[in-house]
Structure 1
Amino acid sequence: MSPATRNIVFFSFLVFSLFSIVSSDELQILLNIKSSLLTSNPGVLDSWKLNSNHCGFTGVTCDSTNSVTEIDLSRQGLSGTFPFHSLCDLKSLRKLSLGFNSLSGTIPTDMNNCTNLTYLDIGNNLFSGSFPDFSSLSQLQYLYLNNSAFSGVFPWKSLRNATKLVVLSLGDNPFNTTPFPEEVVTLRSLSWLYLSNCSITGNIPPAIGDLTELRNLEISDSGLTGEIPPEIVKLTKLRQLEVYNNSLTGKLPPGFGSLTNLTLLDASTNYLEGDLSELRTLINLVSLQLFENRFSGEIPVEFGEFKDLVNLSLYTNNLTGSLPPKLGSLSDFDFIDASENHLTGPIPPDMCKRGTMKALLLLQNNLTGSIPKSYGNCSTLESFRVNHNSLEGAVPAGLWGLPKVEIIDLANNNFEGSITADIKNAKTLGALYLGFNKFSDELPEEIGEAEALTKIELNDNRFSWRIPSSIGKLKGLSSLKMQSNGFSGDIPDSIGSCSMLSELDMAQNELSGEIPHTLGSLPTLNALNLSDNKLSGKIPESLSSLKLSLLDLSNNGLSGRVPLSLSSYSGSFDGNPGLCSTTIKSFNRCTSSSGSHRDTRVFVLCIVFGLLILIASLVIFLYFKKTEKKEKQTLRRESWSIKSFRRMSFTEDDIVGSIKEENLIGRGGSGDVYRVVLGDGKELAVKYIRRSSTDTFTQKNFSSTMPILKENEGRSKEFEREVQTLSSIRHLNVVKLYCSITSDDSSLLVYEYLPKGSLWDILHSCEKSNLGWETRYDIALGAAKGLEYLHHGYERPVIHRDVKSSNILLDESFKPRIADFGLAKILQDKNGGLDSTHVVAGTYGYMAPEYGYSSKVNEKCDVYSFGVVLIELVTGRKPIEAEFGESKDILNWVSNNLNSKESVMEIVDKNIGEMYREDAVKMLRVAILCTARQPGRRPTMRSVVQMIEDAEPCRLMGIVISKEVM
Structure 2
Amino acid sequence: MSPEFFSGHLRSTLFFSTLLFFVIHSSSQSDQRQSLLEFKSTLVNSKVLNSWNEENNVCNFTGIVCNSDEEVKEVNLSQQQLAGTLAFDSLCSLKSLERISLGSNLLSGTVSTRLSDCRNLQYLDLGMNFFSGEVPDLSSLTQIKFLSLNLSGFSGQFPWKSLENLTNLTFLSLGDNPFDESPFPLEILKLQNLNSLYLTNCTIGGTIPEGIENLTLLESLQLSDNNLVGEIPVGVTKLKNLQMLELYNNGLSGILPVGLSSLVNLAQFDVSTNNLHGDLSELKNLTRMESLQLFENSFSGTIPQEFGEFKFLKQFSIYDNKFIGELPAKIGSWAEFEYIDVSQNYLSGGIPPEMCKMGKMTKLLMLENNFTGGLPENYAGCSSLIRLRVSNNSLSGRVPDGIWSLPNLSMIDLEMNQFEGPLPANIGEARSLAQIFLANNRFSGELPMEISNVSSLVEIELSSNQFSGEIPATIGGLKKLSNIRLQDNMFSGAIPESLGSCVSLSEINLASNSLSGQIPDNLGSLASLNLLNLSGNKLTGVIPSSLSSLKLTLIDLSNNMLIGRVPQPLLLVAYNGSFAGNPGLCADGSKDLRECSPVSRKSSHVRVAMYCFIAGALLLLLSLSYFLFVKLSKIDHKSPITRGCSWDVKQFHVLKFSEDEVLRSITQENIIGKGGSGNVYKVDLKCGEQLAVKHMWKSEPDSDSWKGSRSSAAILPKEKTLWPEYEAEVAALSSLRHMNVVKLYCSISSEDSNLLVYEYMPNGSLWDRLHTNKKINMDWGVRYEIAMGAARGLEYLHHGCERPMLHRDVKSSNILLDEELKPKLADFGLAKIVQTGKRMDSTHMIAGTHGYIAPEYGYTSNVTEKSDIYSFGVVLMELVTGKKPVDPVFGENKDIVYWVHEEMRAKDDMFSLVDSTITKDAKEDAVKMLNIAVHCTMKLPALRPSMRMVVKMLEEIEPDSLTDIVIEKGVESVIPDCKKPSMN
Give the TM-score category using the shorter length: 0.7 to 0.9
Correspondence for 1:91: 95
Distance 2:189 2:730 in 1: 48
Q: After TM superposition, give the deviation of residue 656 of structure 1 in Å.
A: 10
Which one-letter code corresponds to 1:10 in the other structure? F
1:78–1:678: structure 2 CA closer, same or farther, 3 Å change rule?
A: farther
Distance 2:136 2:733 in 1: 37
Q: List aligned pairs for 1:837-876, cutoff 5 A.
A: 842-844=848-850, 865-866=874-875, 869=878, 873=882
2:278 counterpart (274, 280, 284): 274
1:715–1:551: structure 2 CA closer, same or farther, 3 Å change rule?
A: closer
1:28 aligns with 2:28: no
2:814 counterpart (804, 807, 823): 807
Q: Is the 1:104–1:126 Cα contact (8 Å) retained in structure 2?
A: yes
Over residues 575-598 of structure 1, what are the superposed CA-to-partner deviations in whole Å (9 max), with x where a residue is unaligned?
111122332244143233554445
2:715 counterpart (675, 679, 703): 703
Distance 1:298 1:813 in 2: 61
Q: Is the 1:361–1:853 Cα contact (8 Å) retained in structure 2?
A: no
Q: Any idea what SS the aligned residue of 1:376 has?
A: helix
Q: Is the 2:110–2:132 Cα contact (8 Å) retained in structure 1?
A: yes
Single out whichever of 527-536 and 805-814 deviates more from structure 2: 805-814
1:291 counterpart (286, 290, 295): 295
1:321 aligns with 2:333: no
1:886–1:161: structure 2 CA closer, same or farther, 3 Å change rule?
A: closer
Correspondence for 1:251: 255
Distance 2:418 2:230 in 1: 43
Which one-letter code corresponds to 1:18 in the other structure? I
Q: After TM superposition, give the deviation of residue 750 of structure 1 in Å.
A: 9.2
Distance 1:714 1:579 in 2: 42
Distance 1:77 1:391 in 2: 53
1:7 aligns with 2:10: no
Q: After TM superposition, give the deviation of residue 24 of structure 1 in Å.
A: 0.9
2:68 counterpart (64, 68, 73): 64
Correspondence for 2:579: 573
Q: Any idea what SS the aligned residue of 2:436 has?
A: strand
Which one-letter code corresponds to 1:12 in the other structure? T
2:227 counterpart (211, 223, 227): 223
Q: Is the 1:91–1:116 Cα contact (8 Å) retained in structure 2?
A: yes
Q: List aligned pairs for 1:120-159, cutoff 5 A.
A: 120-159=124-163
Q: After TM superposition, give the deviation of residue 928 of structure 1 in Å.
A: 12
Correspondence for 2:385: 381
Q: After TM superposition, give the deviation of residue 55 of structure 1 in Å.
A: 1.0
Which one-letter code corresponds to 1:548 in the other structure? L
Q: What TM-score do the two structures reach when normalised by structure 1?
A: 0.79
Q: Is the 1:673–1:702 Cα contact (8 Å) retained in structure 2?
A: no
Q: Any idea what SS the aligned residue of 1:326 has?
A: coil
Distance 1:652 1:735 in 2: 18
Correspondence for 1:559: 563
Q: After TM superposition, give the deviation of residue 673 of structure 1 in Å.
A: 7.9
Correspondence for 1:756: 763
Q: Any idea what SS the aligned residue of 1:353 has?
A: coil
Q: Is the 1:848–1:865 Cα contact (8 Å) retained in structure 2?
A: no
Distance 1:227 1:825 in 2: 47
Correspondence for 2:241: 237
Distance 2:799 2:432 in 1: 33
Distance 2:521 2:719 in 1: 30
Distance 1:928 1:71 in 2: 40
Q: Any idea what SS the aligned residue of 1:368 has?
A: strand
2:460 counterpart (451, 456, 460): 456
Distance 1:405 1:614 in 2: 57
Q: Is the 2:878–2:885 Cα contact (8 Å) retained in structure 1?
A: no
Over residues 696-734 of structure 1, what are the superposed CA-to-partner deviations in whole Å (9 max), with x where a residue is unaligned?
9x9986734498789999997x999x789x979x8x9x6
1:44–1:811: structure 2 CA closer, same or farther, 3 Å change rule?
A: same
Distance 2:745 2:189 in 1: 51
Q: After TM superposition, give the deviation of residue 466 of structure 1 in Å.
A: 1.1
Q: After TM superposition, give the deviation of residue 119 of structure 1 in Å.
A: 1.0
Distance 1:321 1:605 in 2: 78
1:528–1:887: structure 2 CA closer, same or farther, 3 Å change rule?
A: farther
Which one-letter code corresponds to 2:544 in the other structure? P
Q: List aligned pairs for 1:283-362, cutoff 5 A.
A: 283-362=287-366
Distance 1:931 1:22 in 2: 52
1:174–1:838: structure 2 CA closer, same or farther, 3 Å change rule?
A: farther
Q: Any idea what SS the aligned residue of 2:212 has?
A: helix
- What is the aligned residue count? 892
Q: Any idea what SS the aligned residue of 2:28 has?
A: helix
1:819–1:277: structure 2 CA closer, same or farther, 3 Å change rule?
A: farther
Q: Is the 1:177–1:199 Cα contact (8 Å) retained in structure 2?
A: yes
Q: Any idea what SS the aligned residue of 1:161 has?
A: coil
Q: List aligned pairs for 1:778-857, cutoff 5 A.
A: 781-782=784-785, 804-815=811-822, 842-844=848-850
Distance 1:205 1:358 in 2: 39
Q: After TM superposition, give the deviation of residue 332 of structure 1 in Å.
A: 1.4
1:583 aligns with 2:589: yes
Q: After TM superposition, give the deviation of residue 614 of structure 1 in Å.
A: 7.3
Q: After TM superposition, give the deviation of residue 809 of structure 1 in Å.
A: 2.8
Distance 1:798 1:339 in 2: 37
1:410–1:939: structure 2 CA closer, same or farther, 3 Å change rule?
A: same
Q: Is the 1:659–1:674 Cα contact (8 Å) retained in structure 2?
A: no
Q: Is the 1:557–1:578 Cα contact (8 Å) retained in structure 2?
A: yes
Correspondence for 2:117: 113
Q: After TM superposition, give the deviation of residue 35 of structure 1 in Å.
A: 2.2
Structure 2: state its 5+ residue gaps: 1-6, 835-841, 904-912, 965-984
Distance 2:700 2:392 in 1: 38
2:545 counterpart (541, 544, 560): 541
Distance 1:533 1:885 in 2: 33
Which one-letter code corresponds to 1:587 in the other structure? R
1:427–1:388: structure 2 CA closer, same or farther, 3 Å change rule?
A: same
Correspondence for 1:964: none
Correspondence for 1:408: 412
Q: What TM-score do the two structures reach when normalised by structure 2?
A: 0.78
Q: After TM superposition, give the deviation of residue 186 of structure 1 in Å.
A: 0.7
Q: Any idea what SS the aligned residue of 2:394 has?
A: coil
Q: After TM superposition, give the deviation of residue 179 of structure 1 in Å.
A: 0.9
1:59–1:709: structure 2 CA closer, same or farther, 3 Å change rule?
A: farther
Distance 2:276 2:137 in 1: 37
Which one-letter code corresponds to 2:588 in the other structure? T
Distance 2:38 2:806 in 1: 38
Q: After TM superposition, give the deviation of residue 756 of structure 1 in Å.
A: 2.1
1:472 counterpart (447, 472, 476): 476
Distance 2:242 2:700 in 1: 53
1:523 aligns with 2:505: no
Q: Any idea what SS the aligned residue of 1:44 has?
A: helix
Q: Any idea what SS the aligned residue of 2:505 has?
A: coil
How well do the aligned residues superpose, as a CA RMSD in angstroms?
5.2
Q: Any idea what SS the aligned residue of 2:147 has?
A: strand
Over residues 306-338 of structure 1, what are the superposed CA-to-partner deviations in whole Å (9 max), with x where a residue is unaligned?
232222221111122222211221121222222
Which one-letter code corresponds to 1:160 in the other structure? E
Q: Is the 1:507–1:530 Cα contact (8 Å) retained in structure 2?
A: yes
1:571–1:189: structure 2 CA closer, same or farther, 3 Å change rule?
A: same
Correspondence for 1:592: 599
Distance 1:11 1:748 in 2: 81
Distance 2:545 2:747 in 1: 44
Distance 1:688 1:100 in 2: 44
Q: Is the 1:669–1:695 Cα contact (8 Å) retained in structure 2?
A: no
Which one-letter code corresponds to 1:580 in the other structure? C
Single out whichever of 839-848 and 181-190 deviates more from structure 2: 839-848
Distance 1:851 1:293 in 2: 25
Distance 2:833 2:176 in 1: 15
Distance 2:754 2:611 in 1: 50
Which one-letter code corresponds to 2:533 in the other structure? N
Q: After TM superposition, give the deviation of residue 753 of structure 1 in Å.
A: 4.4
Correspondence for 1:37: 43
Which one-letter code corresponds to 1:47 in the other structure? S
